[in-house]
Structure 1
Amino acid sequence: MVVLNRIYTKTGDGGETRLASGAPVSKTDPRVEAYGSVDELNAVLGVARLHAGQHDRIDAMLGRIQNELFDLGADLATPHEPPPRWEALRILDGQVERLEQEIDWMNGSLTALDSFILPGGSALSAHLHLARTVCRRAERDAVRAREAGCVLSPVAIRYLNRLSDHLFVAARRANADGAGDVKWAPGATR
């Protein structure tokens, strides 16, 4: 259980923060950038859910994913070395597999793609496309952190990769009942 009695501590006023291990790092540390993008993604999903309307199953999936994004943030904020003195919260293969199962379910009733899709259609779809792009950035930030020497769980990066696919298919599913996919028309405005 997390207990937050004070919201401001003033410890970050100099541009540093602490990882879950307590280690001080710059607020521009690649690991902090990665979990910061995950936090932004979570906020975008919160806005998307305001538009879920009759899409109860999509809303339930997004609610679960928001919780998993806090788990992912904890995973990214907890260094592997030195090993933490507690059991670190890590993203598991089963969470990636559940995303894949949901992608298959949502995709099962959609028509095959015959064009690139523009973000739009319904408000839910547009917000899910925005979430997808933020998710892709979070994935790039995580990979950049790994390339900078941070030891990150490969499952965490795989989760982000699969989640962006999930959000793309969810955006298409959100448009399937009315607005339909907004298709790219190459060169249409030349």
Structure 2
Amino acid sequence: MVKLTRIYTRTGDTGQTGLGDGSRVAKTDPRVTAYGTVDELNALLGICRLHAGGDLEAALTRIQNDLFDVGADLCTPEQDDPPFEPLRVVAAQTEWLEAEIDRVNANLDTLRSFVLPAGSPAAAHLHHARTVARRAERDTAALAVTTPINEHVLGYLNRLSDYLFVLARDANRDAGGDVLWQPGENR
């Protein structure tokens, strides 16, 4: 259980931050960048929830909780013999996203062009969240080049951006449909 009684500690005033295993790294460390972008995505999903209701809000709430799991996973380095059982993303979290993508996509028209990130307020915010999810995935992939990470994290982030894409399309379905790219329209 998390218990925060004091919000500031002053321990980060020198440009260092603590990781989940107690070690300290620079705030510019690729690990901090990766989970920082995940945190940014989570905040953006809070904005998406302002334009959601019912099933969409429930799904976004679930994803926000999962993103805290992703952040906890990323902030705790992989160890051979950890002193405690770290929270790790599991395959079932990605599998839920895949099932949701299939469910939502089954009700959408087949795409015949790329989709512009526009439309209803909900769709526009979901498209924005999709781009931040892709950045979180890139930041995490960059971390994985030099540091071992849980293999399920990258899959989760990759599938999440796909899910946010179909959710944006679904949000536009009742608002006039997708805003489609018109190649070369303004030449």
Q: Residue 107 of structure 1: CA displacement? A: 0.3
Superposition RMSD on alpha carbons, in Å? 0.9
Residue in 2 that maps onto 1:169:
166
Which one of the candidate residues 114, 117, 122 is aligned to 2:115? Answer: 117
Task: Give the gaps of 5 or more residues in structure 1.
Answer: none
SS of the equivalent of 2:132 reads helix
Matches within 5 A, 1:39-188: 39-53=39-53, 56-147=54-145, 149-188=146-185
Asked whether the equivalents of residues 34 and 138 of structure 1 are also in contact (C-alpha less than 8 Å), the reply is yes
Deviation at 1:101, TM superposition (A): 0.3
Post-superposition shift, 1:81? 2.3
Question: Aligned AA for 1:70?
Answer: F
Alignment check: 8 A CA contact 1:131 1:167 kept: yes
**CA 1:16 to 1:82, structure 2 compared with 1: closer, same or farther past 3 Å?**
farther
TM-score, normalisation: structure 1: 0.96
C-alpha displacement at 1:83, in angstroms?
3.6
Question: In structure 2, what is the Cα distance between the partners aligned to 1:84 and 1:71?
Answer: 18
Give the superposition deviation at 1:162: 0.4
Report how far residue 82 of structure 1 moved. 5.0
One-letter code of the match for 2:35? Y
Matched, 1:19 2:19: yes
Any unmatched runs of 5+ in structure 2?
none
Cα drift, residue 189 of structure 1? 1.5
1 CA distance for matches of 2:183 and 2:56? 30
Amino acid at match of 2:181: W
Indicate conservation of the 8 Å contact 1:16/1:25, yes or no: yes
Question: Runs in 1 of length 4+ with deviation above 4 angstroms?
Answer: none
CA distance in 2 between counterparts of 1:158 and 1:103 reads 14
> How many residues end up aligned between the 2 structures?
187
Which whole-Å deviations, capped at 9, do the CAs of 1:68-119 have from their partners, x for residues lacking one?
0000000001111254211111111011000000000100110000000001
Query: Does the residue aligned with 2:144 lie in a helix, a strand or coil?
Result: helix
CA distance in 2: counterparts of 1:33 and 1:82, whole angstroms: 24
Q: In 1, distance between residues paired with 2:34 and 2:24?
A: 16
> Is structure 2 residue 26 aligned with structure 1 residue 2?
no
Contact 1:81 1:151 in 2 (8 A): no
Residues 1:189 and 2:179 are matched in the alignment: no
TM-score in terms of structure 2 length: 0.98
Whether the aligned pair in 2 keeps the contact of 1:139 and 1:157 (CA below 8 Å) is: yes
SS at match of 2:25: strand
